[in-house]
Amino acid sequence: MLIVLLLAGIAALGAMVVWMALRMRRLESGLEALPVGLEEKHRAILTDLHAGLAQQSDRVTGNLADSSDRLRKAVGDDLQLTRDALNALQLRLLESLGQSREQLSDSLGQSREQMVKTLGDTTQALNAKIDERLDQITGKVNERLDEGFKKTNETFVSVIQRLATIDEAQKKIEGLTGSVVSLQELLGDKRSRGAFGEVQLEALVRNIMPPQAFEMQYTLSTGVRADCVLKLPDPTGLVAVDSKFPLENYRAMLDPEANEADRAIAQKQFRADVRKHVDDIAKKYIIEGETSDGAVMFVPAEAVFAEIHAYHAEVVDYANARRVWIVSPTTLMAVLNTARAVLKDVETRKQIHVIKEALTRLGVDFRRFDERMKKLADHIRQAHEDAESVQVSSKKISQQFQRIESAEIEDRTPGSSGGADNVVKLGVEREADRKS
C-alpha cells in the first residue's frame, strides 16, 4: 500500500510538471508576436521560471525519495524486530513444549485434561503477546505513513502556491504585453503621435513656466495655430514651440532585419523628414514683427533627438541656419528654466524704483538713528563726568571727616597746646573746600 501511495504521488507530480510545461509552451508561442527586445526579456523571465520549476521539481522528488527511504527503513526495522520477537517466542514455546514433555514423561499420573489446559493457556498467552506486538508495529507504521503523507501534502501545497505565483506573473506579463502593443499602436498613427507630443509638451511647460508666461494652442495673425507659445519679454517676444515626431523612417533605419540598402534609403528619408519639419516651422511660426526671429522644434523622444544630433549634424546645422532650435524633453527643460530666470530678472528690474525708495527711507532712518546715538553718547559722557565730580566731592568730604576725627582726638590728648591752631586750620580747609 505504501508503494502504491508513493507511485500515486510521483504520478501527480509528473502530471503537474507536464501541465506547467504545456503552459510555458503556450506562453512561448504567444510571445512570438512580440517585439524582439520585449521577447528577449520575456524569454529571460520564462527561463528563470523554467529554472525555478526544475529546482522545485527536483526538490519535491528528493523529498519524496527521502520520505520513501525513511518509511522503508522504518518498516524494515519494525519487521526485523517482529521477526526477532517471533523467533524468541518460538524458542520459548519449544522450551515450554520440551519442559511439558519432560513433565509429561515424569508425571505419568497427571490427567490429560490438565495438560491440555496448560498447553491452551500457554498458546493463549503467546497469541496475546503476538497480537500486542503486531498492534504496536501497526501503530508505528501508521504514524510514519501519516508523517510522510503530511510532508508530501505540505510539499504539494507549496508547489501549488508557487504555481499560483507563476500564474500571477504570467497575467502581469500578458498585461504588459497588451500595454506595449497598445503603445505601439498609439505611436503607429501620426495623429496619435502628434497628440502624444502635445500632451508631453504641455506637461513640461506647465510644470516649469508661470501661467501668464505661455499659452497652449496659440493662434497667430496668419491663422496658423502653434502647439505652444512662450511669452518672453522684449526684445525676444513670442517664441513658438511645435511638436514633431518623425518615427516611421527612424524605425525602418534601425530595423535589424532590414538590409543595408533599405537602411540607407530609410536614413535618407529620415533626414528629409526632419528638414521638412524644420522648413514648416520656419515658414509658419517665424513672423517678423509678431514673433521672435527663432522657433523651437520639440522632439518628444530622446532616442530620436540623440540620433539627429549624433549622426545627422548637417540637419542640425540646417535647422540652426533656419533659426529653428531642435530640443528634446531634457533640453526643453533647460530652455524653460532659462526663460523663467529671464522673466524673474525682468520682474526684479521692474521693482528697482520700489527698492530704491525703500533704501532712501532706510537711509533717512539710519541718519536719524545716528544723530540720536550721538546725543545718547553725549549724555553718557556728561553723566560720566558728573559721576567723576561727585566722586571727587565724596573723597573730599571723607577727608574732612577724617581730619575732624583726628582733630578731636588731638584735642582730647592731655597737655596738648595746639588745639586753637587746629581749629583755625580746620576752618581754613572748609572754606577752601566750599570754594572748590
**362-402 pLDDT per residue, tens:** 888 888 888 888 888 888 888 888 888 888 888 888 888 88
Distance CA 60, CA 48 (A): 18
| pLDDT score for 239 | 92
Does position 187 have pLDDT exceeding 50, yes or no? no
Alpha-carbon span 382 to 384, nearest angstrom: 5
Rounded to 5°, angle at Cα 333 from 328 and 334: 100
Task: Report the 10 Å Cβ neighbour count for 202.
Answer: 16
Whether 179 and 197 map to the same domain: the answer is no
Predicted local distance difference test score (pLDDT) of residue 186 = 43
305/422: higher pLDDT:
305
Last residue of a domain, one of 164, 186, 208: 186
Q: For 70-96, what is the mean pLDDT?
A: 75
Task: State the pLDDT at residue 39.
Answer: 58
Q: Contact 210/340 with Cβ under 8 angstroms? A: yes
CA distance 30 to 51: 20
Strand 238-243 and strand 225-231: the pairing is antiparallel
Identify whether residues 98 and 216 lie together within a single domain.
Answer: no
Q: What does the pLDDT read at residue 181?
A: 38
Shared domain for 162 and 36, answered yes or no, is yes
Q: How confident is the model at residue 285 (pLDDT cuts 50, 70, 90)?
A: very high
The residue among 350, 369, 389 that closes a domain is 350
Pull the grid cell for residue 159.
508547489
Q: How many CB atoms lie within 10 A of CB 312?
A: 16
Shared domain check, 304 and 359:
no
Check which CATH number belongs to the domain holding 171 and give it.
1.20.1270
Q: What pLDDT does 34 receive?
A: 46
If asked whether residues 322 and 361 sit together in one domain, one would say: no
Which residues lie below 8 Å from residue 42, measured CB to CB, with a gap of 6+?
A: 31, 34, 173, 177
Are 216 and 293 contained in the same domain?
A: yes
Task: Please indicate, yes or no, whether the overall pTM of this predicted structure exceeds 0.85.
Answer: no
When pLDDT is cut at 50, 70 and 90, the band that residue 31 belongs to is very low
Q: pLDDT higher for 433 or 338?
A: 338
Average pLDDT over residues 316-332: 93
* End position of a domain, from candidates 294, 329, 350: 350
Report the number of distinct structural domains present in the chain. Answer: 3
- Asked whether residue 303 falls in the same domain as residue 387, the answer is no
pLDDT mean over 142-149: 75
Residues 370 and 425 in one domain: yes
- Structural domain span for residue 379: 354-435
Indicate if 32 and 154 belong to the same structural domain. Answer: yes
Give the pLDDT mean for 63-86.
73
Q: Are residues 171 and 143 in the same domain?
A: yes
Judgement on whether residues 168 and 202 belong to the same structural domain of the protein: no
Mean pLDDT lowest for which of 19-33, 54-68, 248-262, 339-353?
19-33
State the helix-helix crossing angle for 352-411 and 329-350, rounded to 10 degrees.
60
Residues 250 and 335 in one domain: yes
pLDDT digits (tens, 9 = 90+) for 48-66: 666 666 676 677 667 666 7
* Whether 240 contacts 226, CB under 8 Å: yes
